[in-house]
Amino acid sequence: MSKLLTARAGADDGYVPSQRRIERERFRRTRTRRATAVAALSTLVTAAVLYFVITRSPGWPRTRETFFSTEYAAKALPKVLEGLLLNLRLLVVCGAAVLVLGLLLAVARTLRGPVFFPLRALAAAYTDFFRGLPLIICLLMVVFGVPALRLQGVTTDPVLLGGSALVLTYSAYVAEVFRAGIESVHPSQRAAARSLGLSSGQALRFVVLPQAVRRVVPPLLNDLVSLQKDTGLVSIAGAVDAVYAAQIIAGKDFNFTPYVVAGLVFVALTIPMTRCTDWVTARMDRRRAQGGLV
Amino acid sequence: MRLANRPLRLAACAAVALLAAAVGCAPQDESPGGPGAAGQGKQSCDRGKLATVADGKLTVGTDKPAYAPWFQDDDPASGKGFESAVAYAVARQLGYGKGAVRWQTVPFANAFAPGQKKFDFDVNQISISPARKRAVAFSSGYYDVRQAVIALKGSRAAHAKSIADLRHLKLGAQVGSTSLDVVNDTVRPDQQPAVFQKNDLAKSALKNGQVDAVLTDLPTAFYITSAEVKDAEVVGQFAATGAGKEQFGLVLDKESRITGCVTAAVDALRKDGTLAALEKKWLTDAVSVPVLK
């Protein structure tokens, strides 16, 4: 604000700020400085108090040795990263499958016309069931139940089976997100599209879905991050992911540091993902606002 | 000016509140280097008068479910099953009768998490190792462990005669177990082994053919093949490897004051033959199982 004013004052348009205005700006600057100083001080005090409380607690040496041992961190990191590959592969493959299946389910659920009733009912039953079923139970049923059937040609690979269980559960969540997006598009959009001569399918494809998908990008990202963390549950059948790699070391040597390492790795993975979506959303918003806001 | 003072005052208030919380939260006991840390100190092992978690009672921890043959019917308090019997024998040695023993459910990870323990000692087939001794205290060993391989009868894995024969198989073991260490350090298989949270899951995977063979300690292997997965057999056992034999120990808090007493009790039970008798009573004899080399 003040920068803008000075720049304008410097421009040769004969504008000279009044004494009172200069006074006011100076006052504001001192206020800002003061606020910054206070914020810095209070942050410092808080940090100092937290540091004091944590490091002076009687159990701190044990806690530091058990949770923040550099020796175990160094030992765990390579194995955790190796396990992370499994998480990432699952995230990419399952994420793509979940988006496709979720969108199909949502479209099936929002189709109109009596002829589509069975499809609507099936899609509704699917989302109700798998959204309610705890993921861990879904995983156990698929990972240990399917191979127990001893069907010819059906895989017993825990990663493939676990991945399908993830897709089953998460596509139900994502379908509901997509459905909310589709239903949030105002009916007049459809009406306008139909009146232009677009068929029902074309209206959905070219008018409703593009708007719907844009609206639900943030909650979709939420589900993806959630999926990213839940990919580790596949380890229930013996596959070793990042968290499990940590648990193996923790269980062997009775030290929890590997868990902290795995946790940080996941956080480090989530943050760029969030920033990326923020960027995508911002870009979409800019596009939508093209031509200026009235 | 009155307004300007507010953030400062707020900060001061926050600091005071935090300090108060800090003082309030700080546990007063177990000061590092205090009487507790020294281990034994002047504490004697007077019968029935140890510094236990609950006065006059001995609290013993184990995981749930408690597996056979170590515990029978998932009921540690029955005195049946090898570890249950050992726990009561140790208690008797320390001067605590059957009625003075309380059982506490302690998940595996909680047995070694730092902080106040809810048990005097934990008995859960936990092997003694130097790395683990940095986190908890152990009594002396109450059982010499051997690891074994089980596989479905007639399968490729069931014909294994040596460690080399196991190398090309998909192996499974429980997380946090020394069986898994044997897989990784002794067998060193070509494929990454499957690691299971519980032996129950490993058993399902074995039945389903998702793994070729599962490693457990020998008594568990016997129990699984005789009672749970009857179309499986014990393929072989591993020789106790070079650097000292593997032993199960009772787990105590690192700062526990009764570690010395418990160790003395276990040693006494070994010396007077009680442990050998309990082993004979509850665990199958391992002589008939071939040793894999």
Interval B210-232: pLDDT, tens: 899 999 988 899 889 888 888 89
Mean pLDDT of A81-92: 93
| pLDDT attached to residue B17 | 62
Interface of A with B in 129-148 (CB under 8 A): 144, 147-148
pLDDT band at B32 (very low <50, low <70, confident <90, very high): very low
In tens, the pLDDT along A260-284 reads 999 999 888 888 888 887 888 788 7
Question: Which token pair is A170?
Answer: 């998460």
| pLDDT attached to residue B12 | 60
| pLDDT attached to residue A259 | 93
pLDDT band at A87 (very low <50, low <70, confident <90, very high): very high
| pLDDT attached to residue B30 | 44
Contact residues, chain A, for B15 at CB < 8 Å = 42, 45-46, 49
pLDDT over 50 (residue B36): no
pLDDT over 70 (residue B7): no
Mean pLDDT of A70-90: 91
The answer to whether the CB of B266 falls within 8 A of the CB of B90 is yes
Kindly give, in sequence order, each residue whose CB lies less than 8 Å from that of residue B219, ignoring residues fewer than 6 positions away.
B69, B70, B82, B283, B284
Q: Do A148 and B208 touch (CB under 8 A)?
A: yes
Mean pLDDT of A69-93: 91
End-to-end CA distance of chain A: 24
| pLDDT attached to residue A86 | 92
Report which residue type is found at A130.
Answer: F
Contact residues, chain A, for B194 at CB < 8 Å = 158, 237-239
Question: Which token pair is B62?
Answer: 């184990």
Mean pLDDT of B244-252: 87
Mean pLDDT of A240-251: 90
For chain A, what is the mean pLDDT? 88
pLDDT band at A158 (very low <50, low <70, confident <90, very high): confident
| pLDDT attached to residue B14 | 57
- Pick the most confident of A114-123, B92-101, B129-138: A114-123
Residue with tokens 């479910």: B65
Question: Is the previous residue joined to A158 through a cis bond, with omega within 30 degrees of 0?
Answer: no
For chain B, what is the mean pLDDT? 82
Q: How many helices (H) and strands (E) does chain A have?
A: 14, 0
Name the least confident of A61-70, B37-46, B51-60, B199-208.
B37-46
In chain A, % of residues over pLDDT 90: 56
Q: Angle at CA B158, nearest 5°, toward B153 and B161?
A: 155
Rounded CA-CA distance B80/B275 in Å is 14
| pLDDT attached to residue B287 | 63
Q: Do B26 and A66 touch (CB under 8 A)?
A: no
pLDDT over 80 (residue B293): no
Mean pLDDT of A102-117: 91
Distance of CA A291 to the CA centre of its chain: 31
| pLDDT attached to residue B139 | 92
pLDDT band at B9 (very low <50, low <70, confident <90, very high): low
Q: Which has the higher per-residue pLDDT, A11 or A212?
A: A212
Name the DSSP class of A7. H
The answer to whether the CB of B208 falls within 8 A of the CB of A142 is no
Rounded CA-CA distance A105/B131 in Å is 52
pLDDT over 80 (residue B59): yes
- Pick the most confident of A126-135, A214-223, A269-278, B188-197: A126-135
The answer to whether the CB of B22 falls within 8 A of the CB of A58 is no
Q: Do B134 and A46 touch (CB under 8 A)?
A: no
Q: Compare all CA atoms of chain B with the CA of A65 and give the residue at the minimum distance.
A: B135
Question: Which token pair is B127?
Answer: 């092997």
Q: Do A58 and B204 touch (CB under 8 A)?
A: no
pLDDT band at B165 (very low <50, low <70, confident <90, very high): confident
| pLDDT attached to residue A222 | 86
